[in-house]
Structure 1
Amino acid sequence: MLTGKQKRHLRSLAHHLTPIFQVGKGGVNEHIFRHIEEAIETRELIKLSVLNNNDEDRHEIARELAEGSGSELVQVIGSTIVLYKESKDHKTIELP
């Protein structure tokens, strides 16, 4: 579980990132979990965007993505979701 200070640090690092995945009308599925797990192992911190054609609650989608990929939810702001998971092999982010 991330502390408030750690989340603030991660939010500042994620500010300049661009979303690498989009959740559309199809919603959340096993396919996107696999891709998130692979990407988050190399990057540690990723951004995703929820498209306008998705009718589900963005906070619920964020919780599902975090649980399904084994990562921590850092932030949901507008249609953007930020996830973090410490990498085993490519650790670059030092948390305060």
Structure 2
Amino acid sequence: MPAITLTPAQRKAHRADAHHLNPVVLIGSDGLTPAVVKETDAALKAHGLIKVRVFSDDRDARETILVTLCDTLGAAPIQHIGKLLILWRPVSAKAKDAGESRNPGPRVVTVVKASRSGTRRPTVSKVKIMGNQRVTAGGSIKRVKKRATSFKKQSQG
């Protein structure tokens, strides 16, 4: 895959976004191994914009690592400053959709309640839980309490 080419303005924006990031991939004395390429690919799929730290004193070796990673993974080189490399690749639509499934909403939960005597079988039931409900340790369902507001705000509103 060829590397992505960006305009200087796009590169500048990605550099600003990457400023606060910590290195996600660390490349040691073995250099660029298939395992490192695989981890870099996984990090780009998850984050899109990553920092890579190379523990090598040879600047030319770091430059070749940057070019190799960008060519093999289809990423854009954003910056090479010292031992840090910054790579960017757009996150696919599939990865974005996977994050949406974490929203709270109705879900089916299996509730197991022990019998009172302890000698009988526990009762198992499937219950639909809404977004504002929770299951207690005893197996009962409770609603989330409303947020407490101060007396001063209650009298104003």
C-alpha deviation, 1:3, in angstroms: 0.5
Task: Select which of 7, 12, 24 maps to 1:8.
Answer: 12
Alignment pair present for 1:20 and 2:44: no
What's the counterpart of residue 94 of structure 1?
Answer: none
Q: Superposed, which structure 2 residues align to 1:1-96 within 5 Å?
A: 1-52=5-56, 55=58, 57-89=61-93, 90=95
Q: Normalization by structure 2: what TM-score? A: 0.53
Structure with the greater alpha carbon radius of gyration: 2
Question: Residue type of the partner of 1:9?
Answer: A
What CA deviation, in whole Å up to 9, does each residue of 1:15-66 have, x standing for no partner?
Answer: 10000111111111221111111111110100000114x6452111111111
Contact preservation (8 Å) 1:34, 1:69: no
Percent of aligned pairs sharing the same letter? 29
Q: Which runs of 5 or more residues in structure 2 are unaligned?
A: 97-157
Aligned pair count reads 90
Query: Which is further off, 56-65 or 31-40?
Result: 56-65
Runs of 4+ aligned residues of structure 1 deviating over 2 Å after TM superposition are 54-57
Q: Normalization by structure 1: what TM-score? A: 0.85
Between Structure 1 and Structure 2, which shows a larger proportion of helix residues?
A: 1
Contact preservation (8 Å) 1:2, 1:72: yes
